[in-house]
Structure 1
Amino acid sequence: MNKRFTTTIKSYKAAALLLFLLLSFQVFAQQPQINAEIDSSSIKIGEQIIFSIEVETDSTDLVVFPEGQTFDPMEMVESLGADTTTVEDRYRLLKKYSLTRFDSGAYTIPQQKVIIQNREYLTDSFRVEVADVKVDTTRQKMYPIKPAVDVPKPFSIPNWIWWLLAALVILGLAFYFFRRRKKRKEAEPELPPYEQAMFELKQLDNSSLLQDREIKEYYSQLAFIVRKYLDRKIYDRALESTTSELIAYLELRKQSGELSLKDKSIDNLQQLLKRADLAKFANSRPDVITAKSDRTKAEHLIKDIRQVVPEPTEEELMLDEKYRTEKLKRKRRNKILAIIGGVLILGIIVIVVLVNTRGFDYVKDSVLGNETKELLEGDWIRSEYGTPTVTITTPEVLVRKAVDRDDELQEMLLGSETFDSGTLESNLYILLITGPVNPEGDFNLDKAVDGIYENLENQGASNIIMKEEDFSTINNAEGIKVFGTFNLENPITGGPIQKEYAILNFGENGGFQQVMVVFDEDDEYAEEILQRVENSIELKNQSN
């Protein structure tokens, strides 16, 4: 009995083990399979290799291939589309990338990450040799170095021109509308006083102001017609005077015997003007019958004044014409002054807003111009200079120049090349020196830096303040930065010019390199130029 029971247990164990193996094989068979390869492990500079990733997985799985510059230090030139093939009930995906490198050396393509159904899988890494392109200098014809060519500055319009142009446009528009209005007035000459008043009263009768119960506007026009007639015939300030002032003037003229106007006419005028004042300023609303009555009184008043005021003589007409001409000139002059004043006030408002938001220096530099600001905002130039090569970005191209070196520096170098832009007295001066080190000489970077003080003194600098710190370029070339301030004599006034300077010194690639930037003290635009120049310096290893 026990033997049979033991045999049964062993059979169950064997069956369970067989089932486990079958399930494990099935799970293993369903796992994604990833394979990566490159078509070549050795290329020349600039040649391309194909990096392939092959994934075999279920048709329902989501596969995400690597994208972007994940192959660093190799550069991805192109990401080709993925090819898909079917193998039984599984998919096989093939993704290819075109890679290259422009510097010689040995590089390792890092492992690439492939995501399948939110799980990450890594490919193998590969080593690639990038070889130089061999150049046979014994058979290749060599040419001398071409001289530097001055590149003309691109034409740019100063900012103050735009401000002046805007002001001229505003003045031109104002003058245009003023002339247009003047021509319109000249094209429509005014009738004599009596005929003009009768014409305007008829226009008022033809209007629909009374029918629309626009009593306020009706009285405004009626009072203006009467005042205008008085202004042209009796009192040249009738339009500007108050009702009481106008009535007092008429009564005074009547008492002096200059105006034989009836008392009833003056009373009717006073009632008319007061009713008009109440309608305009006190929201009084006379009835239509009263308004029509006042209209009739206004016509009678105009006719009475015409009878008592004699027609002007020829001499009076000439004097009156001269007066009106002078008055018109004054009005025109006042309008022009008002326009100019408006433009000035607008300009002052704009300047005040800009000063409060951007600062006084910004407004001054934008309107009057600033040389270093224009250099900072202009088109910069990136170029390589001398041997050993110094790659640098500057606002203007550096021009080769010949200079005499001190004996100590001459002994340390086999020769040197000098490039610069500007002058030491100008707003911005950039100097670049590079040359190979004399292997038989005793070159020491600290020793070369010690000669900077004497070199500045030889160029006329005084009150020199020097500071020193370590410096490294964007490609990790180590050097020494010397910076500070000094005074320079102004060649025109003889007074001192306060300067700031920064001198970067390197002993890389078997040579000596020096970059100097000098600018006026407290020039914020020049300080930005210095930072940009410092960040652009690159000393490439010539072996690569």
Structure 2
Amino acid sequence: MFLIRDKYASHLLRALAVCLFLVATPGFSQSAPTITSSVDTTAIKIGEQLHWKVTVETDTLSHVVFPEGQTFSPLETVEAIMTDTIRKTDRLTLQKTYALTQFDSGTYTLPAQMIEINGKHFFTDSLVINVANVAVDTTVQKMYDIKPLIAVEKSRSIPWGLILWILGILLVLGGLLYWFVFRKKPLSEEEKVALLPPFDRAILGLKQLENSKYLIQDDYKTYYSELTNIVRSYLEEDVHVAAMESTTDQLIDKLEMMKDAGKLKLEQETIQQFKKVLQTSDLVKFAKSKPDTSVAEADRKSVELIVIKTKEAIPEPTPEELMQQEEYQEEIRQKSQRKKLVYTSLAAVLLLVFTGVAAVGYYGFDYVKDTVLGHPTKELLEGDWVQSDYGFPPVSVETPKVLLRQAVKLPAESQATIKEMQAFAYRNPSALFTVATTSILLAQSEEPDYEKSSEQILQNFEAQGARNIITKQEEFTTRTGVRGVKLYGSGKFAVPDSEQLVNGKYAVLFFGGKGFQQNLILSWQADDPYAEQIVERILNSVEVKTTL
């Protein structure tokens, strides 16, 4: 009986011991963490680096968040080295090293850094860092004056692909214009003959007819048709008589009338000989007559003689006729020049149309229109941007233009809570675009009231003529992890120097800490794609200091 009780008591004691151990274990795991920090040196030269190391010892279940971004101001963070982790039973040791530097000489305070453990904030000790100048031996290295500013041409983004296409099209069109319009083309035999004077052309035609095979082939009809056409064409061009459509009798009558009027000094015998040749030709063409070959050859020689005598019988042109001929030639030259001008203009118009269609297809109609006609926010977007810090505590932001300091006069009701306010802004009335920053030092070391600031900004919008303001709010985080509040929305905004209201948008960022607040304010016209890109780029560039 006693033995059984002893065994029962022994088991009970063991169970109690296990319970006590389980109860004690959580209490040990929740012991307070320890944080230590140190630097490898407190004195550096300009541009040298020092290493700041922070060690956190806590239990294995803790969640630790180390500082991120430029939180060591006035020192600059060069690199955050990967965290080293050491586990020992139920304890965890974390070591994080930061490489820091400074490019101005002086004495600086490395501010206390916040370590977040399980949602609670712990702060390291602050340190004093001395940054010394680099000594320069002026006996060896001469000192020179600061060089003057050099004007640098603005860089602009160039669509090389489109430019190459346009150049290719220009080369093709230029080649076509040169080949078909401006090039001196080699003349064909027919063109060379056509450019000859009427007399030379007639004699050449008679020589070619002499060497033809019409008579050998008994093709008298073609032979006489060409023979009479040669002489009739000559008479029309040189004697200015309607010969091609006239019958034999009509043509002979016209020549005799010109002879009687003294306009053609031709012998009657020559006219009769010409009439005889024309009558023989009529018989061959219409009565199917077939003269001897010798007669046909003699008729050709007769026509050649008639052409020569007719040329000699034409009176010399008067000065008035010569002037008319010069005017006629000048008119022909002007027509040729106008024709070339029309071709060139047509090619230029086609080039512009083709280039415009290609640009619209590649970039879109609105982009091409805004490029040709100009658009204020497009020019801001594609201009040279500026990255700078504004105010204290500084707001670092990239903007299309430099923000200018604004004169700030605090109202009486704000002077008790605000110690100092610095404001910088850029406004483009034609683009209806505004970007501004404010840095505020509070009179008391307290957290800023973002709700009150939001109400004040909305009241300022309304005081400037804005109506129907829609407001939304969300958390905003910079690229380096600094958290803030974003107030944004839309409304009807007033156009400067006008009573007109346009659809607009706005965005306001709030950052801050104990004793200070930083704001970034943006407003722009709705449905402006270039303004949307500007705002996105600005918001992605914002950085702020988290401590004074």
Checking the alignment, whether the CA contact within 8 Å between 1:431 and 1:516 is kept in structure 2 is: yes
SS in 1 for 2:544: coil
Q: Which residue of 2 aligns with 1:483?
A: 489
Aligned length: 377
Q: Quick one: distance in 2 between partners of 1:152 and 1:48?
A: 38
Q: Quick one: distance in 1 between partners of 2:478 and 2:336?
A: 70
Is 2:544 aligned against 1:539? Answer: yes
Within 5 Å, which residues of 2 pair with 1:45-56?
A: 46-47=48-49
Q: Quick one: distance in 2 between partners of 1:498 and 1:389?
A: 32
Q: Quick one: distance in 2 between partners of 1:373 and 1:363?
A: 11
Task: Choose which of 229, 254, 257 in structure 1 pairs with 2:254.
Answer: 257
Deviates more, 1:521-530 or 1:397-406: 397-406
Is 2:518 aligned against 1:516? Answer: no
Gaps spanning 5+ residues in structure 2: where? 1-37, 52-65, 70-74, 86-92, 110-127, 131-149, 185-193, 210-229, 259-270, 285-299
Q: Supply the AA of the counterpart residue of 1:320.
A: Q
Q: Supply the AA of the counterpart residue of 1:373.
A: K
Checking the alignment, whether the CA contact within 8 Å between 2:447 and 2:512 is kept in structure 1 is: no
Is 2:211 aligned against 1:193? Answer: no
Q: Which residue of 1 aligns with 2:124?
A: none
Q: Supply the AA of the counterpart residue of 2:527.
A: D
Within 5 Å, which residues of 2 pair with 1:357-372?
A: 357-372=362-377
C-alpha distance after superposition, 1:2-47 (max 9, x if no partner): xxxxxxxxxxxxxxxxxxxxxxxxxxxxxxxxxxxxxx98356842
Within 5 Å, which residues of 2 pair with 1:457-496?
A: 457-476=462-481, 477-491=483-497, 494-496=499-501
Q: Which residue of 2 aligns with 1:438?
A: 443
Q: Supply the AA of the counterpart residue of 1:135.
A: T
Q: Which residue of 2 aligns with 1:42?
A: 40
Q: Which residue of 1 aligns with 2:27?
A: none
C-alpha distance after superposition, 1:216-263 (max 9, x if no partner): xxxxxxxxx999978853679x9xxxxxxx944798983872697768
Checking the alignment, whether the CA contact within 8 Å between 1:383 and 1:391 is kept in structure 2 is: yes
Q: Quick one: distance in 2 between partners of 1:531 and 1:202?
A: 87
Higher-Rg structure is 2
1:235–1:195 CA distance, 2 compared to 1 (3 A): closer
C-alpha distance after superposition, 1:329-374 (max 9, x if no partner): 2332232233223212321222123223322212112222222222
C-alpha distance after superposition, 1:273-312 (max 9, x if no partner): xxxxxxxxxxxxxxxxxxxxxx999977965763676654
Q: Supply the AA of the counterpart residue of 1:103.
A: T
Q: CA RMSD in A?
A: 5.8
Checking the alignment, whether the CA contact within 8 Å between 2:437 and 2:520 is kept in structure 1 is: yes
Q: Supply the AA of the counterpart residue of 1:487.
A: F
Within 5 Å, which residues of 2 pair with 1:395-474?
A: 395-406=400-411, 410-423=415-428, 426-439=431-444, 443-474=448-479
Checking the alignment, whether the CA contact within 8 Å between 1:194 and 1:306 is kept in structure 2 is: no
Checking the alignment, whether the CA contact within 8 Å between 2:199 and 2:307 is kept in structure 1 is: no
Gaps spanning 5+ residues in structure 1: where? 1-39, 50-71, 76-100, 112-123, 141-150, 182-189, 206-224, 239-245, 272-294
Task: Choose which of 334, 342, 350 in structure 2 pairs with 1:329.
Answer: 334
Checking the alignment, whether the CA contact within 8 Å between 1:194 and 1:302 is kept in structure 2 is: no
1:425–1:355 CA distance, 2 compared to 1 (3 A): closer
Q: Supply the AA of the counterpart residue of 2:77.
A: D
Q: Supply the AA of the counterpart residue of 1:257.
A: K
Deviates more, 1:225-234 or 1:367-376: 225-234
Cα deviation, residue 199, structure 1: 10
1:381–1:489 CA distance, 2 compared to 1 (3 A): closer
Checking the alignment, whether the CA contact within 8 Å between 1:73 and 1:107 is kept in structure 2 is: no
Task: Choose which of 289, 303, 325 in structure 2 pairs with 1:320.
Answer: 325
1:267–1:539 CA distance, 2 compared to 1 (3 A): farther
TM-score between the two structures when normalised by the length of structure 1: 0.53
Q: Which residue of 2 aligns with 1:506?
A: 511
SS in 1 for 2:524: strand
Q: Quick one: distance in 1 between partners of 2:249 and 2:500?
A: 76
SS in 2 for 1:384: strand
C-alpha distance after superposition, 1:172-194 (max 9, x if no partner): x989x99997xxxxxxxx99825
Q: Supply the AA of the counterpart residue of 1:526.
A: A
The percentage of counterpart residues that share the same residue type is 28
Q: Which residue of 1 aligns with 2:188?
A: none
TM-score between the two structures when normalised by the length of structure 2: 0.53
1:363–1:73 CA distance, 2 compared to 1 (3 A): same
Checking the alignment, whether the CA contact within 8 Å between 1:43 and 1:131 is kept in structure 2 is: no
